[in-house]
C-alpha cells in the first residue's frame, strides 16, 4: 500500500496532535518565561547587597529596583535593615515556586492530553487502514510505533521542546545582564555556546542513524515476543521452547548491542559537553578573579556574573543534549508519520447501498497479491440469490481470496474484472454497507478476551441473551456453553485459549449468525467439527436461515454435497461447476476427491 502524498510535515502533524492541549502548552510556556525572569532578579539583589549596601558604591541595578529602593528611603535604610533584602530573596523564591508549580501542572496536563490525542488518532486511523496494509506490517512493529515512539515524541514535545524555549530565553536574558556588567568576561562565556551547538549538530546525524537501527530492532523484538505469547500452545506442543528462547535471545543481543553502541556515542557526546562546560566555568572564575584584583570588576558584579554564568552553563549543555534528542524524536515522528500517511480505505464517490439479497456475479476476475504470481485467473460464474453455493479446491487455489475480494478486504485493480451484487460493482458499494450485509466465518476464528456471551453478541451493543442463545443453538454450541460453570459468562481467555478448536469455530458461527446478514460465508469454518455435528449445523442452518445466500468453502465433500451448486477450483481457475450428482458423472477433480474421501470413511 503506497502512502498518500499529503505534504504533511512533521510540524503540521504534531500541531494536529496538540488539539486540546494547546492552552496547557501555552500556559506552561508563559509560566516558564515568568520563572526565567524571576531567576534573573536574585543575582541583582546579591549584587546590590555586596556593592551598594555593604560597600557603599553607586547602584548599578535595573531602574525598577532603584525606584523600589528609593521609595523605601534609599540604600541607608537597607543597610540598617538587611532583613528586607533577605525577605526580598525569599519572596522571589516563593513566587518562583508558585509559577514553577503552575508550569509543572500545565506541562503535565499538556503531556497527558497530547498523548491521549495521539493514541486515539493513531488507533482510529489504523482501524481504517486496508487489510492489505495490515498484512504488510508486522503487529509487533505497529505496537512499538504506538507505544515507544509515541512516548519519545511526547517527551520531546512536552518536555524537551519546552526546555529549548526556556533555555533560549534564559540564555538571552543571562547574556544581556552579563554583557551589561563586563563585556570581556561575557565574550569568554559566549565562546562555548557555538562550540557546544556545533558539535551537537555533528553528533545529531550519527545519533539519528543509530537510534533508527535500534528502534527498528526493538520492533522486531516486540514482534517475536508477541508471536510467542499468542502462539504459546503451538510452541509448547512442538517442544520449541529452546528454539524460540534462542531466537529471542539472538534478537535481544542485537538490540542490546545497538543500544550499547548508541550509549557509547552519547557518552562521548555528553562527556565532551561536560568537559567544555567545566572549562568555561574555570575560565570565568580565573579571569573574573583577575579582573576583581585589578579593580576592573566589583565583588558584587563578580558574584552576580558567576550566578548568571551558572544559569547559562547547564542550560547550554542541556541544549546540546536536546539537539541530540531531537534526532531520536525525529525518527519516532517519522515512524508515526508513516502510519498517519498510509492511505485509509475509502469508498468511491457516490457509493451506493443496494439491496444485497441479489445475484453475485464474478466477471472475468483476475487477481494477484504479487504480480509475478497470479492467484485468480479469468473467474466467471454467478451465485444465485437465496441459494447455497459451495466451493471446493486444493490449498492455495484461491478460495478464500475470492471471498476477500467480495468483501473488499482486497480491492480488484482496474482492468482486472469486477464482482457485482445485483449488477452493482462491489467497488461502488459503501464498505460499511457491504460488510454489514456479508457475514464471514473463517477457518481460524478470532475470539476476544471477553465472555462467550460478549463474543457472540459483539455485532450489536447490548444484544439480548435470547438472541445470543438462539444463534448458539443453531450453531450447536449452546449445550456446551451451558455445561460450563459460568455458562455464557465464561471468560474465553486470549484468542479463545480456554475453548477447544470445535467450540471456537461454533462460537464464531454463532457470532456471525447474530449479524443476520443476507449473504453468509463459511470459509472452512467447521473443519474442527466432527462430521455428525457438521451435518447437524448444516441442517439447522437450512431450517433457520430462510432465503439468505450461503457460500460454503470446505475440503470436506460431505459438507458441500447438498449445496445447490458446487464450484471446483484448481490453481485459481474454474475447473468444474454443477450439482453433486452432475459432478459425479464427470471425470475430474470432484469425483476423485469424493472417491478418496468416501473410501477413507469406509476404511475407518
Tens digits of per-residue pLDDT, 118-129? Answer: 999 999 999 889
> Any idea which residue has 546579591 for its cell?
46
User: Is residue 173 a part of any domain in this protein?
Assistant: yes
pLDDT at 233: 65
For residue 206, with 0-12 CB atoms within 10 Å meaning exposed, 13-18 middle and 19 or more buried, which class applies? Answer: middle
**Residue burial 342-366, b: 16+ Cβ < 10 Å; e: rest:** beebebeeebeebebbbebbbeebb
pLDDT at 136: 85
**Same domain, residue pair 59 and 86:** yes
pLDDT at 229: 73
**Same domain, residue pair 453 and 511:** yes
**Same domain, residue pair 232 and 289:** yes
* DSSP string across 270-306: HHHHHHHHHHHHHHHHHHHHHHHHTTSS-HHHHHHHH
Mean predicted confidence (pLDDT) in 394-408: 88
Lowest mean pLDDT among 254-263, 313-322, 340-349, 510-519: 313-322
Higher-pLDDT residue of 574 and 66 is 574
**Same domain, residue pair 155 and 219:** yes
User: Is residue 346 a part of any domain in this protein?
Assistant: no
- Residue 494 pLDDT exceeds 70: no
Among 492, 516, 540, identify where a domain stops: 516
pLDDT at 62: 65
User: Is residue 168 a part of any domain in this protein?
Assistant: yes
pLDDT at 344: 87
pTM above 0.85, yes or no: no
Give the relative orientation of helices 139-155 and 183-230 as an angle to the nearest 10 degrees: 160
User: Is residue 5 a part of any domain in this protein?
Assistant: no
Provide Rg for the chain, Cα atoms.
36
Lowest mean pLDDT among 40-44, 193-197, 472-476: 193-197
Provide the pLDDT confidence category of residue 433 given band limits of 50, 70 and 90: very high
pLDDT at 4: 45
Mean predicted confidence (pLDDT) in 351-356: 90
Lowest mean pLDDT among 231-235, 508-512, 563-567, 578-582: 231-235
Supply the range of the domain harboring residue 459.
445-516
- CATH number, residue 553: 3.40.50.300
Q: Where are the beta strands (DSSP E) in 503-585?
A: 519-523, 549-553, 565-570, 573-578
**Residue 15 in 3-state DSSP?**
helix
**Residue burial 472-507, b: 16+ Cβ < 10 Å; e: rest:** bbbbbbbebbeeeeeebebebeebbeebeebbbbbb
Mean predicted confidence (pLDDT) in 509-529: 82
**Same domain, residue pair 399 and 272:** no
User: Is residue 1 a part of any domain in this protein?
Assistant: no
Among 306, 341, 376, identify where a domain stops: 341
**Same domain, residue pair 423 and 569:** yes
* DSSP string across 76-103: HHHHH-HHHHHHHHHHHHHHHHHHHHHH
User: Is residue 467 a part of any domain in this protein?
Assistant: yes
Lowest mean pLDDT among 370-374, 385-389, 470-474: 370-374
Higher-pLDDT residue of 108 and 323 is 108
Q: Which helix (H) or strand (E) holds 208?
A: helix 183-230
**Same domain, residue pair 328 and 477:** no
pLDDT at 25: 86
Mean predicted confidence (pLDDT) in 21-32: 87
**Same domain, residue pair 217 and 184:** yes
Among 286, 314, 341, identify where a domain stops: 341
pLDDT at 323: 66
For residue 179, with 0-12 CB atoms within 10 Å meaning exposed, 13-18 middle and 19 or more buried, which class applies? Answer: middle
**Same domain, residue pair 503 and 524:** no
Higher-pLDDT residue of 36 and 583 is 583
pLDDT at 601: 52
Average pLDDT, the chain: 82
User: Is residue 76 a part of any domain in this protein?
Assistant: yes
- CATH number, residue 233: 1.20.1560.10
- Residue 204 pLDDT exceeds 70: no
Higher-pLDDT residue of 214 and 470 is 470
**Same domain, residue pair 108 and 227:** yes
Mean predicted confidence (pLDDT) in 57-76: 69
pLDDT at 458: 84
Provide the pLDDT confidence category of residue 3 given band limits of 50, 70 and 90: very low
* Termini Cα distance of the chain: 49
pLDDT at 420: 94
- Residue 533 pLDDT exceeds 90: no
**Same domain, residue pair 153 and 263:** yes
**Phi/psi zone of residue 51: left (φ > 0), alpha (ψ -120 to 50 degrees), beta?**
alpha
Indicate the number of domains in the chain: 3
User: Is residue 2 a part of any domain in this protein?
Assistant: no
Share of the chain above pLDDT 90, in %: 11
pLDDT at 1: 38
**Same domain, residue pair 467 and 542:** no
- Residue 197 pLDDT exceeds 60: yes
Amino acid at each position: 500500500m503506497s502512502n498518500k502524498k499529503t505534504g504533511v510535515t512533521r510540524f503540521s502533524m504534531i500541531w494536529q496532535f496538540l488539539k486540546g492541549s494547546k492552552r496547557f502548552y501555552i500556559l506552561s510556556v508563559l509560566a516558564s518565561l515568568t520563572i526565567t525572569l524571576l531567576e534573573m532578579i536574585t543575582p541583582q539583589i546579591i549584587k546590590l547587597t555586596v556593592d551598594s549596601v555593604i560597600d557603599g558604591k553607586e547602584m548599578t541595578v535595573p531602574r525598577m529596583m532603584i525606584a523600589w529602593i528609593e521609595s523605601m528611603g534609599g540604600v541607608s535604610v537597607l543597610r540598617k535593615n538587611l532583613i528586607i533584602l533577605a525577605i526580598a530573596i525569599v519572596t522571589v523564591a516563593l513566587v518562583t515556586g508558585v509559577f514553577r508549580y503552575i508550569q509543572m501542572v500545565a506541562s503535565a496536563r499538556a503531556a497527558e492530553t497530547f498523548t491521549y490525542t495521539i493514541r486515539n488518532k493513531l488507533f482510529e486511523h489504523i482501524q481504517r487502514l486496508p487489510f492489505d496494509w495490515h498484512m504488510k506490517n508486522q503487529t509487533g512493529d505497529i505496537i512499538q510505533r504506538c507505544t515507544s515512539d509515541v512516548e519519545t515524541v511526547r517527551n520531546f514535545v512536552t518536555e524537551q521542546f519546552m526546555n529549548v524555549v526556556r533555555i533560549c530565553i534564559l540564555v538571552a536574558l543571562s547574556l544581556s545582564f552579563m554583557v551589561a556588567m563586563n563585556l570581556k568576561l561575557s565574550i569568554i562565556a559566549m565562546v562555548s555556546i557555538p562550540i557546544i551547538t556545533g558539535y551537537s549538530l555533528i553528533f545529531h546525524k550519527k545519533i539519528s542513524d543509530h537510534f533508527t537501527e535500534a528502534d527498528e530492532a526493538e520492533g522486531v523484538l516486540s514482534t517475536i515476543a508477541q508471536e510467542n505469547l499468542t502462539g504459546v500452545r503451538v510452541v509448547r506442543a512442538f517442544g520449541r521452547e529452546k528454539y524460540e528462547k534462542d531466537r529471542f535471545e539472538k534478537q535481544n543481543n542485537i538490540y542490546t548491542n545497538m543500544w550499547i553502541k548508541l550509549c557509547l556515542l552519547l557518552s562521548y557526546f555528553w562527556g565532551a559537553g561536560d568537559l567544555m562546560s567545566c572549562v568555561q566555568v574555570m575560565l570565568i572564575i580565573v579571569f573574573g578573579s583577575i579582573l576583581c584584583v585589578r579593580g576592573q570588576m566589583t565583588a558584587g558584579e563578580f558574584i552576580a556574573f558567576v550566578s548568571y554564568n551558572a544559569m547559562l552553563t547547564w542550560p547550554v549543555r542541556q541544549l546540546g543534549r536536546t539537539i541530540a534528542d531531537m534526532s531520536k524524536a525525529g525518527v519516532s515522528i517519522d515512524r508515526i508519520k508513516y502510519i498517519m500517511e498510509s492511505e485509509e480505505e475509502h469508498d468511491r464517490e457516490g457509493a451506493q447501498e443496494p439491496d444485497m439479497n441479489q445475484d453475485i456475479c464474478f466477471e472475468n476476475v483476475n487477481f494477484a497479491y504479487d504480480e509475478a504470481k497470479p492467484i485468480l485467473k479469468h473467474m466467471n460464474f454467478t451465485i444465485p440469490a437465496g441459494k447455497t453455493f459451495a466451493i471446493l479446491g486444493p490449498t492455495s487455489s484461491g478460495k478464500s481470496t475470492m471471498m476477500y475480494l467480495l468483501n473488499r478486504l482486497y480491492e480488484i485493480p482496474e482492468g482486472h474484472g469486477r464482482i457485482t451484487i445485483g449488477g452493482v460493482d462491489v467497488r461502488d458499494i459503501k464498505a460499511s454497507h457491504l460488510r454489514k450485509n456479508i457475514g464471514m466465518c473463517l477457518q481460524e476464528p478470532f475470539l476476544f478476551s471477553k465472555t462467550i456471551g460478549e463474543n457472540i453478541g459483539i455485532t450489536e451493543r447490548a444484544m439480548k441473551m435470547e438472541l445470543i442463545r438462539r444463534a448458539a443453538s443453531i450453531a450447536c454450541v449452546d449445550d456446551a456453553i451451558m455445561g460450563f460453570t459460568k455458562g455464557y459468562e465464561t471468560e474465553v481467555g486470549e484468542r479463545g485459549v480456554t475453548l477447544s478448536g470445535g467450540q471456537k469455530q461454533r462460537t464464531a458461527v454463532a457470532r456471525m449468525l447474530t449479524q443476520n446478514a443476507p449473504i453468509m460465508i463459511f470459509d472452512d469454518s467447521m473443519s474442527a467439527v466432527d462430521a455428525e455435528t457438521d451435518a447437524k449445523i448444516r441442517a439447522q442452518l437450512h431450517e433457520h436461515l430462510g432465503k439468505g445466500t450461503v457460500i460454503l468453502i470446505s475440503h470436506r465433500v460431505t459438507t458441500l454435497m447438498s449445496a445447490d451448486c458446487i464450484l471446483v477450483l484448481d490453481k485459481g481457475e474454474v475447473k468444474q461447476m454443477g450439482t453433486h450428482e452432475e459432478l459425479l458423472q464427470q471425470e475430474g477433480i470432484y469425483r476423485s476427491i469424493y472417491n478418496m474421501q468416501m473410501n477413507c470413511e469406509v476404511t475407518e
